[in-house]
Structure 1
Amino acid sequence: MKRIFTTLAQKWPEYLLEILVITIGILGAFALNNWNENRKTRKQEIELLTNLRSDFETRVEEIKTIQEVRSNILQVIDTLYLRIENKEYENRNNELDSLLSYLYISYRFNNEFSSLDMLFSSGGIVNLSNSELKETLIKWPWLVAEMLEEQDRIENQMSLTTQVLSEYVLANNLYKNWAFSKIHGNLSDDYFPSNYKGLFTDRRFLDVLAHRKANLAFNVRDGKAIIELGNKIIKTIEQEISNQ
């Protein structure tokens, strides 16, 4: 035992150096492994962000197109209100047929978002390094859900719109004056003469216009908010990718 203590007393610097070397080696190996894992994780995050950016660019452009359609329909409704208020329904069949054809337009925003859904379902959003990006991504589904509520209401009202219009105006005539492309019907315009006076004094039609305008106005408001948020997300993603 005395020999052991003597040896330790004489060679403790050597033993200490060996311990330090081993410790440093182990810590270095852990550090290198963590660095490799972090680099791998970051690479995967950049790939995910790149896909997200592409998807958001597509969604924003889609909403912009829908917004243009919504704005056009709102303008049409205001024109119809003007015609109703001024009792301007004589000798305007072609114009009114074209205006009413807008009421048959139904649109649906594609809310399927595979890359974002995967980010939420996998819990990957928790691991995003950019907290601002996390916050904006979480807001996106909520804003879209609000917009889809008005969109669903408009679609649910389509049956009433068709029912009311069909009592006074032949669909054949509306399609012949379709606002976006000419669809030539097989019947002449006077086969069943349009009764715009009756339509414009039917309170159900006025309700159709009021509901459509209100829901469209909410849709346009929500659409603007979504476009603004989408552009912010795209910009944040671009900055994050550039900082890799």
Structure 2
Amino acid sequence: MITLFRRIRQKLIDSGSLTKYLLYATGEILLVVIGILIALQINNWNEQQKQNERERLLLINLRNDFQTRYSELKEINTARGEAIEVALFVNEMIAGQVAILPEDEMDRLLATFINYFGFNEQFKMLDVLFNTGLINEISNEELKQLLLLWPQQMEEMLEEQRDLIRLYEQTLGPLYYKYLSMRSLSESFEFRDYQIQRGAPITLTKDYEGLLNDRMFENYLADAQTLLHINIIDGNILIQSAERIIELLEEQIESL
């Protein structure tokens, strides 16, 4: 192709026609410019494809993480609701409206409260997004704003979660050690079907009546119900937010 252009150029020079030569030279320059523009366009397209693929992989990882968080939040919120129901039933026993249950059933009920209902606050994909600036590569503005809002929403729930843990450690834990067998409670723990293996025979004497008559325990139940109720409200906000984030992530992945 270059040889052909060279021959045409030489013929025009030999012909002595300046006008024809200038027209040809102009056309040749235009061809070169067009070739450069096409090459740039192809390069830009390739870069955009790479960018889209990076964003797509990022969104897939985010979606997987949020699906895990969504399932965990729903499971924990259900358990919190069940714990409130148990607390109300135990309050009826404290008030003498319901008789104390057999030992195995009491252990099963009281084991409910050794659950912190803890939500895992470690979210590595979000940390990567925020710490590396990859959040700016997300093109959907609503999705970006929801992701930026998520840590604040989660912190509101975690505040009551931490208060519940402190309440257990400072109030319920000492009461359980005083009146019950922690090994018996652990073996009766049903959350997530952990199936804690039963050990050697339990020799500790259990004093359910003493626990129910201890005013610290009744106060614990009242405080725990309040914190669990607030946790459920905050958890539902997170669940709704996670649902929308997952929906937007699915849409964005499909569009890339």
TM-score of the two chains, using structure 1 as the length reference:
0.83
Match status 1:219 vs 2:231: yes
Partner of 1:3: none
Aligned partners of 2:180 and 2:151: how far apart in 1?
Answer: 41
Q: Deviations over 1:65-100 (max 9, x none)?
A: 212221111110111222223x24755353444322
Match status 1:77 vs 2:87: yes
Report the 3-state secondary structure (helix = DSSP H, G, I; strand = E; otherwise coil) of the residue aligned with 1:156.
helix
Q: CA 1:176–1:110 in 2, change beyond 3 Å: closer, same or farther?
A: closer
Calculate the aligned-residue CA RMSD, in Å: 2.7
Residues 143, 245 of structure 2: 8 Å contact kept: yes
> What are the residue-to-residue correspondences of 1:131-170 with 2, within 5 Å?
131-159=141-169, 160-167=171-178, 169-170=179-180
Partner of 1:92: 101
Q: Deviations over 1:125-177 (max 9, x none)?
A: 1121111211111122222222221111111112220212344x222695388
Q: CA 1:173–1:80 in 2, change beyond 3 Å: closer, same or farther?
A: farther
Unaligned ranges ≥5, structure 2: 1-15
In terms of mean alpha carbon deviation, does 105-114 or 119-128 score higher? 105-114
Aligned partners of 2:135 and 2:183: how far apart in 1?
Answer: 52
Partner of 1:194: 207
Report the 3-state secondary structure (helix = DSSP H, G, I; strand = E; otherwise coil) of the residue aligned with 1:157.
helix
- For residue 7 of structure 1, report the CA deviation from its aligned partner: 7.4
- For residue 50 of structure 1, report the CA deviation from its aligned partner: 1.2
Residues 170, 192 of structure 1: 8 Å contact kept: yes
Unaligned ranges ≥5, structure 1: 1-5
TM-score of the two chains, using structure 2 as the length reference:
0.80
Report the 3-state secondary structure (helix = DSSP H, G, I; strand = E; otherwise coil) of the residue aligned with 2:122.
coil
Aligned partners of 2:118 and 2:253: how far apart in 1?
Answer: 32
Partner of 2:13: none
Partner of 2:12: none
Aligned partners of 1:13 and 1:118: how far apart in 2?
Answer: 57
Match status 1:63 vs 2:73: yes
Report the 3-state secondary structure (helix = DSSP H, G, I; strand = E; otherwise coil) of the residue aligned with 2:160.
helix
Residues 98, 174 of structure 1: 8 Å contact kept: no
Aligned partners of 2:235 and 2:148: how far apart in 1?
Answer: 17
Aligned partners of 1:52 and 1:172: how far apart in 2?
Answer: 39
Match status 1:208 vs 2:238: no
Aligned partners of 1:232 and 1:67: how far apart in 2?
Answer: 18
Identity among equivalent positions (%) equals 32
In terms of mean alpha carbon deviation, does 64-73 or 198-207 score higher? 198-207
Amino acid at match of 1:26: I
